[in-house]
Amino acid sequence: QVHLAESGGGLVQAGGSLRLSCAASRRTSSDYYMGWFRQAPGKEREFVAVITWAGDPTRYADSVKGRFTISSDNAKSTVYLQMNSLNPEDTAVYYCAAPFPQWRAVLPTNVHDYVHWGQGTQVTVSS
């Protein structure tokens, strides 16, 4: 069982920045990807970004492209999400997640591809 622990959420004004972290308790040689998702009140959980543990390639949701950056630190088994130019529409609980350990030809962006989830961290952006 993989345990994922997010940190770094909080309250920020519009235009501000936050950096989220996600530490994985363990990894295997078949663990290739880590993803970030978010869920706003009354909405479905949605994809934000995904990365390979090698650090490249990455993929982003259109709504965050150019503002958010996902990165990984192999030595620390930690994935980060740098969020800049935040706006109130970014308010949500942010989750890191790991898919079933297997290589895929396409980076996984569907919530159903992921089997391990962190507890989530709240990000609130005030206008």
Q: What is the pLDDT of residues 49-64, one digit of tens each?
A: 999 988 889 999 999 9
**Integer Cα distance of 92 and 123 in angstroms:** 6
Q: Length of the chain in residues, anyone?
A: 127
pLDDT: is 32 or 123 the higher one?
123
Residue 31, pLDDT above cutoff 90: no
Whole-number Å distance between alpha carbons of 124 and 117: 20
CA 95 to the chain's CA centroid = 6
Using the predicted structure, report yes or no on whether residue 113 has a pLDDT greater than 90.
yes
By the 8 A CB rule, do 38 and 45 touch? yes
